Structure 1
Amino acid sequence: MENQRGKGLSFAKRIYMPRIVGLGIGCLSVYAALYPLPMPNWVWVLLIFNGFVWPHIAYQLSTRSSFPYQAERRNLLYDSVLGGFWAATMQFNPLPTVTILAMMAMNNVAAGGKRLLIRGALAQLGGVLISWMLFGPGFVNHASTAQIYACLPMLTLYPLAVGMVCYRLAIKLSEHKRALSALSRIDSLTGLLNHGSWKDLLHIKFHKCRQQQAQATIALIDVDHFKSINDSYGHIVGDAVLRQLSSDLRRNLRENDLAGRYGGDEFCVILPSRSLHQAAEVMERLREVFSNYRHSEVPQLRVSLSIGLAAFHPRFDDAATWLNEADKALYRAKNTGRNKIASAEPTQDYPVAKLA
Structure 2
Amino acid sequence: MGLGIGSLCAGAGLHQAGAPAWVWGVMLVYCFAWPHVALRISLRSASPYAAERRNLMVDSFAGGVWPVAMAFNLLPSVLLLAALAMNNFATGGAKLFGKGVLAHLAGAAMALLLVGPKFLPETSFMTVLLCVPFLLSYPLVLGVVMYRLSIELSRRKDELVLEKRRADEANLTQTRVLAELAARDALTGLFNRRHMSELLAQHCAASQRSGGGFAVALVDLDHFKRINDSHGHAVGDSVLRAFAEQAGAAMRGTDTVGRWGGEEFLVIYPCSSADEAAQGAARLLEQVAAAAVTIPGGETLTFTVSIGLTGHAPPESVDALVERADRAMYQAKSQGRNRVVTLPEGAGKA
TM-score by length of 2: 0.61
Per-residue deviation at 1:46?
A: 6.6
Which range moved further: 38-47 or 252-261? 38-47
Q: 2:35 maps to what in 1?
A: 39
Q: 2:50 maps to what in 1?
A: 84
Per-residue deviation at 1:257?
A: 0.8
Is residue 217–residue 312 contact of structure 1 (8 Å, CA) maintained in 2?
yes
Per-residue deviation at 1:161?
A: 2.4
Residue 93 (structure 1) aligned with residue 88 (structure 2): yes
Distance 1:164 1:307, change over 3 A: same
Taking the aligned partners of 1:326 and 1:85, their CA distance within structure 2 comes to 79
Distance 1:88 1:181, change over 3 A: farther
Distance 1:183 1:156, change over 3 A: same
Distance 1:221 1:90, change over 3 A: farther
- Give the SS at the match of 1:39: helix
Taking the aligned partners of 2:310 and 2:328, their CA distance within structure 1 comes to 7
Residue 150 (structure 1) aligned with residue 145 (structure 2): yes
Per-residue deviation at 1:296?
A: 2.2
Q: 2:318 maps to what in 1?
A: 319
Is residue 294–residue 300 contact of structure 2 (8 Å, CA) maintained in 1?
no
Distance 1:97 1:310, change over 3 A: same
Taking the aligned partners of 2:155 and 2:53, their CA distance within structure 1 comes to 20
Q: 2:160 maps to what in 1?
A: 162
What does residue range 166-315 of structure 1 map to in structure 2 within 5 Å?
A: 166-298=164-296, 299=299, 301-314=301-314
Count, aligned residues: 246
Distance 1:190 1:90, change over 3 A: farther
Which range moved further: 274-283 or 218-227? 274-283
Deviations 1:272-319 (A, max 9, x none): 1222222222111211111122222352523110111111113x4212
Structure 2: runs of 5 or more not aligned:
7-30, 58-86, 94-101, 106-137
Is residue 214–residue 271 contact of structure 2 (8 Å, CA) maintained in 1?
yes
Taking the aligned partners of 2:234 and 2:51, their CA distance within structure 1 comes to 66
Taking the aligned partners of 1:237 and 1:286, their CA distance within structure 2 comes to 21
- Give the SS at the match of 1:40: helix
Deviations 1:197-256 (A, max 9, x none): 111011111111222221311001011121221222122211111111111111111111
Q: Which residue identity does 2:88 align to in structure 1?
A: N
Q: Which residue identity does 1:84 align to in structure 2?
A: A
Taking the aligned partners of 2:2 and 2:316, their CA distance within structure 1 comes to 77
Per-residue deviation at 1:89?
A: 3.6
TM-score by length of 1: 0.60
Is residue 42–residue 48 contact of structure 2 (8 Å, CA) maintained in 1?
no
What does residue range 91-130 of structure 1 map to in structure 2 within 5 Å?
A: 91=57, 93-97=88-92
Is residue 309–residue 343 contact of structure 1 (8 Å, CA) maintained in 2?
yes
Distance 1:241 1:139, change over 3 A: farther
Distance 1:167 1:82, change over 3 A: farther
Q: Which residue identity does 1:39 align to in structure 2?
A: P
Is residue 218–residue 269 contact of structure 1 (8 Å, CA) maintained in 2?
yes
Is residue 306–residue 339 contact of structure 1 (8 Å, CA) maintained in 2?
yes
Is residue 88–residue 138 contact of structure 1 (8 Å, CA) maintained in 2?
no
Is residue 32–residue 147 contact of structure 1 (8 Å, CA) maintained in 2?
no
Structure 1: runs of 5 or more not aligned:
1-30, 51-77, 99-136, 349-356
- Give the SS at the match of 2:301: coil
Is residue 93–residue 139 contact of structure 1 (8 Å, CA) maintained in 2?
no
Q: Which residue identity does 1:250 align to in structure 2?
A: G
Q: Which residue identity does 1:310 align to in structure 2?
A: T
Per-residue deviation at 1:263?
A: 1.0
Is residue 295–residue 301 contact of structure 2 (8 Å, CA) maintained in 1?
no
Taking the aligned partners of 1:32 and 1:256, their CA distance within structure 2 comes to 74
Distance 1:344 1:45, change over 3 A: farther
Q: Which residue identity does 1:94 align to in structure 2?
A: F
Q: Which residue identity does 1:95 align to in structure 2?
A: A
Q: Which residue identity does 1:304 align to in structure 2?
A: T
Deviations 1:38-74 (A, max 9, x none): 2336836975x99xxxxxxxxxxxxxxxxxxxxxxxx
- Give the SS at the match of 2:269: strand
Is residue 190–residue 243 contact of structure 1 (8 Å, CA) maintained in 2?
yes
Is residue 96–residue 147 contact of structure 1 (8 Å, CA) maintained in 2?
no
- Give the SS at the match of 1:159: helix
Q: 2:327 maps to what in 1?
A: 328
- Give the SS at the match of 2:308: strand
Percentage of matched positions with identical amino acids: 27
- Give the SS at the match of 2:294: coil
Provide the alpha-carbon RMSD of the alignment.
3.4
